[in-house]
Amino acid sequence: MSYPQNLLHLSTVLLQGLVIGFSIAAPVGPISVLCIRRTLEEGRLLGVVSGLGAATADALYGVIAGFGLTLISSFLVGQQMWLRLIGGIFLCYLGVKTLLSRPMEQNVLDGRKGMMGAYGSTFFLTLTNPMTILSFAAIFAGLGLADVKGDYASASVLVLGVFMGSALWWLCLSGGVGLFRSRLKNAGLVWVNRISGGVITGFGLMALLLGVL
């Protein structure tokens, strides 16, 4: 393959990764609720950092699917009950904590600790969702992207595209939600905590129920 053809091929693979990452991140779920709530209460930066945690986990699952690491993907699928239970428990914890928290309690957090916690929590929650790896495997197979497994350059560009696409969604979401932040008073933020905490707890209970069944 000549250089122009190879560059065109890699550009196409990057674009496919962008679309996949954006599409997988976009559906509304507990990560979206967390990102919205953190953006409204603590600013766009924390919302974006929260999204980047999920984007990193998406990229990691993209590595597993793109490089054909079937042993790891089979293990994760086989342990989906435990992953759902662990993720459900953590979601319930975050939901109840959010539901009971007051806006002023969050603002006194150390900035670096808050960033690390925001990033780590969404990274962990995305990793414990077994549907993520199944979604990647299904999309890669459906689009014929399984062919890149032996092409490490294409697989690497594909994973980069997945991360960029996922990160782009979280950047758009946090940026859009941040436009409404200045309009919310303290009482409004209390209701943001109550509603988002209840929704997150609901997602956690659903995950626990699916893990038991």
Residue 172, domain member (yes or no): yes
End-to-end Cα spacing for the chain: 51
Residue 194 is assigned to a structural domain of this protein = no
Residue 191 lies in a domain: no
Cβ neighbors of 7 (< 8 A, separation 6 or more) are none
Q: Is residue 185 part of a domain?
A: no
Q: What parts of the chain have a pLDDT lower than 50?
A: 105-109
pLDDT at residue 35 in the model: 92
135 occurs within a structural domain:
yes
How does DSSP classify residue 79? T
Tell me, rounded to whole angstroms, the distance of Cα 92 from its chain centroid.
17
31-50 pLDDT, tens digit per residue, is: 899 899 889 888 889 999 99
pLDDT of residue 147: 54
Tokens of 166: 């996922």
According to the model, what pLDDT value does residue 108 have? 44
The answer to whether residue 53 sits within a structural domain is yes
Is 48 inside any structural domain? yes
Which one, of 166, 139, 152, lies nearest residue 51 by Cα? 166
Confidence at residue 109, expressed as pLDDT on a 0 to 100 scale: 47
The tokens for 173 are 């979401």
Show the tokens assigned to 114: 């808050």
Catalogue the E-assigned strands of the chain.
none
Identity (one letter) of the amino acid at 117?
Answer: G
| Sign of the C-alpha dihedral computed for residues 68, 131, 172 and 54 taken in this order | negative
pTM of the model: 0.81
The number of distinct structural domains making up the chain is 1
Q: Identify the domain containing residue 80 by its residue range.
A: 3-86+102-179
Query: Could you tell me if residue 166 is inside a domain?
Result: yes
DSSP at 26: -
**In the 8-state DSSP scheme, what is residue 151?**
-
Burial track 32-41 (b if 16+ CB lie within 10 A, e otherwise): bbbbbbbbbb
User: Token pair of 190, please?
Assistant: 């209390």
- Give the whole-angstrom CA distance, residue 94 versus residue 176: 23
Q: How far apart (Å, rounded) are the C-alpha atoms in residues 19 and 165?
A: 6
